[in-house]
Amino acid sequence: MTIFSHYFIDRLSAYGEYAVINHAQDEFCDVTVLPIPGGNPSANNPVPNALVGKMSDESKWRSHIFNFGLYYDISPQVSLGFLWQAPVGRRNAYRSGTVLISSTFRF
């Protein structure tokens, strides 16, 4: 869901978005550990089934993210912006928040 308001106060615009990102479960087959460069070339060993099962179980993830942004037009060619990205909910996903400050110059 996205909401955008262009110049809702003088030259200030706002943007809001709620996104759900869903990654389905991966399937692994014939997983082999390759040797480290410069190591023993005959060390190609298969990964135990328990680890393959764990990798498969943990490959499914979901993240709910809220994005909010503001930008202000100082002049028709110059604007300043601010973006905030916040995780709302997650499952097997990294929790990270992001802040972005930008300036735009058009020639």
CA atoms within 13 A on the CB side of 72: 6
pTM, to two decimals: 0.66
Q: Report whether pLDDT(34) > 70.
A: no
Per-residue pLDDT tens for 1-13? Answer: 899 999 989 999 9
Tell me the average pLDDT of the chain: 85
Among 81, 70, 85, 84, which residue's Cα sits nearest to residue 105? Answer: 81
pLDDT at 46: 62
